[in-house]
Structure 1
Amino acid sequence: MEKRTIDPWQWGERTNSVQAVEIKNPVGTLYCSGQVAIDANGQPSTGDMRAQLLQTIQNLEQLISEAGYACSGIVRLNVFTTSTTEFFTTCVDVYQAFTAKHGIRQATTLIEVQGLFAGLTVELEATVVK
């Protein structure tokens, strides 16, 4: 796989994402359903948004790994949240640590929604290549 990121503006360096990602010659592409903070028994989290994001990231990492891919191959990561304000004030450091840990340089869209499954507050949807 050949990966090229495109970000024509310097302010993009502060967003922990890029404006576009080009992939040539992928071996495979994994389209992940939105992941939320649900435990192995199928129980939704009752924690705050930060706790939910931590669980959601663990679930996404497990899904990607079990599919035979690596988180470093994430090229698109959409974030759905019930409050962008709360996400930026309580969760952005967790999100940035996750992307830095795996060296992810992804195209991202952050979307505020009215509600998510079971009253949860954050969901991650990823596209991964290898």
Structure 2
Amino acid sequence: MIVSKLTGRRVLVVEDEILIAVMIEEVLLDLGCIVVGPIGKLEAAMQLARDEALDMAILDVSIRGGYVYPVAERLLARDIPIILASGYGGWALPENLRDQPRLTKPFTTQELESQIRACCRQV
């Protein structure tokens, strides 16, 4: 087994579309990551962002309960890198989150893996 920089990284997945959540989870597991979630509700995501030991997060911008912005801000305040996933362009994000890595839906597994690897280099 090849051990990479991603092996054992704890990654929060906040996604309320089950097929997308499963795809993200499969890619993360293939990379050796530990998946926290997936979570599809804002309140539960916020609790994990506050309390859970995490190395990075992949956040769907729009989930049940509203927008994921408070979760993103909490994670960034803890110096946990994030990747935002959305069908909208950067213009739709709050100004303070526009410089964060993004995946534009629909995205491929290759695009997802590339963003995860780039995010890991920040850690």
TM-score (norm 2): 0.34
Structure with the larger RCO, 1 or 2 (CA within 8 Å, 6+ apart):
1
Higher helix share: 2
